[in-house]
Amino acid sequence: EVQLVESGGGLVQPGVSLRLSCEASGFTFSSYWMHWVRQAPGKGLVWVSRINGDGTSSSYADSVKGRFTISRDNAKYTVYLQMNSLRSEDTAVYYCARAASTTAAGIGGYWGQGTLVTVSS
Amino acid sequence: EIVLTQSPATLSLSPGERATLSCRASQSLSSYLAWYQQKPGQAPRLLIYDASNRATGIPARFSGSGSGTDFTLTISSLEPEDSAVYYCQQRPNWPYTFGQGTKLEIK
C-alpha cells in the first residue's frame, strides 16, 4: 500500500527556516517524481515544487523560487522541502504527492495527509 | 502559466440530482486534465485523470469529458457524501495549476 507521511510543520516566526519531510512507503521511491503542493487556510491548491527520481532535476513556483529547496534521499524513501525566509503568506497545509507513473512527472492519486505550517509573529 | 477557470463557484443540489461542473483552460491541454475532490480536513482525492478516466475505486456516477480548453465533471446521481470542493488541474505545463474550485453542497 502506498503511503506518504509528512512531518516538520509548526508555528514559526517570519524570516526563519523550516524543513518539511515526507516519508514514503509501498512503492519504488526512486522511480517517481515527487511533488509538494500547499493550501492556505480556506483557499485553493497551489503547486510548490517537484523533483525527479534521482534528484537531478527540480522546479519551483515563482512564489517560492530562491527561498525553498526540494531534495530527496532515496535510501531513506524521503523527500524534503527546505523553506527559508518564511513569510506570512507561506502559511498553509503542505502536502507531498507522488507522480502518477514512473514515466510521467505529473501528479497522481497518492497524497499525504498534509502538515500545517503557520508563519506568524 | 495556464489559468483554469471553474464554474459555478458554488452549486447546491439535492440527493439524486445531476451535477455538472465546468473547467475552462486559458490554452489547450489536449486531454491532460484531472479532477479532484476535497472534503474538509482531508487531502485531495483523485477522481478523474486524462479528462475521462476514472481513478481506482471511484464510483461510476463520476464521469469526465472534454478536450482542448473545455472540460466537464458530471456526477450523475448525487449522494450526500458528494458534498465537497472539486478542483480541476492541468499537468502538461509546469506549474501544474489548479482551478479555484467548485463547492458542491447537498441539500
Task: Say whether residue A27 is in contact with chain B using an 8 A CB cutoff.
Answer: no
A107/B89 CB distance under 8 A: yes
Query: At A90, phi and psi to the nearest 5?
Result: -85, -5
Q: What is the pLDDT of residue B78?
A: 97
Query: What's the CA gap between B72 and B65, in Å, rounded?
Result: 5
Q: What confidence tens digit (pLDDT) does each residue in B2-52 have? A: 999 999 999 999 999 999 999 999 999 999 999 999 999 999 999 999 999
CB atoms within 10 A of CB B28: 13
Q: Which residue has the cell 447546491?
A: B12
A61 vs B contacts (CB less than 8 Å):
95
Q: What is the pLDDT of residue B5?
A: 98
Where does the pLDDT of residue A105 fall: very low under 50, low under 70, confident under 90, or very high at 90 and above? confident
Q: What is the pLDDT of residue A89?
A: 97
Q: What confidence tens digit (pLDDT) does each residue in A1-46 have? A: 999 999 999 999 999 999 999 999 999 999 999 999 999 999 999 9
Q: What confidence tens digit (pLDDT) does each residue in B75-107 have? A: 999 999 999 999 999 987 888 899 999 999 999
B95 preceded by a cis bond (ω within 30 of 0):
yes
A44/B100 CB distance under 8 A: yes
Q: What is the pLDDT of residue B64?
A: 97
Q: What is the pLDDT of residue A104?
A: 82
- E strand segments, A1-121: 3-7, 10-12, 18-25, 34-39, 45-51, 58-60, 68-73, 78-83, 92-101, 104-111, 115-119
What does the pLDDT average to over A67-93? 98
Beta carbon pairs, A and B, within 8 Å: 50
Rounded to a whole number of angstroms, the distance from the CA of B64 to the nearest CA of chain A is: 16
Closest-CA residue to B84 (of B52, B58, B66, B53): B58
Q: Is there a contact between B98 and B5 (Cβ–Cβ < 8 Å)? A: no
Output the average pLDDT for chain A: 96
Task: Say whether residue A61 is in contact with chain B using an 8 A CB cutoff.
Answer: yes
B95/A59 CB distance under 8 A: yes
Q: What is the pLDDT of residue A101?
A: 86
Rounded to 5°, the CA angle B23-B24-B28 comes to 125
- Residue-wise DSSP of B26-68: SS--TT-EEEEEE-TTS--EEEEETTTEEPTT--TTEEEEEET
Q: Which residue has the cell 485553493?
A: A44
- Closest to B98 (Cβ–Cβ): which among A45, A109, A111? A45
B94/A50 CB distance under 8 A: yes
A1 vs B contacts (CB less than 8 Å):
none
Long-range contacts at B49-52 (CB < 8 A, ≥ 24 apart): B49/A100, B49/A108, B49/A109
Q: What is the pLDDT of residue B92?
A: 74
Query: What's the CA gap between B24 and A105, in Å, rounded?
Result: 23
Q: What is the pLDDT of residue B95?
A: 87
Check whether A107 has a pLDDT greater than 90: no
Task: Say whether residue B62 is in contact with chain A using an 8 A CB cutoff.
Answer: no
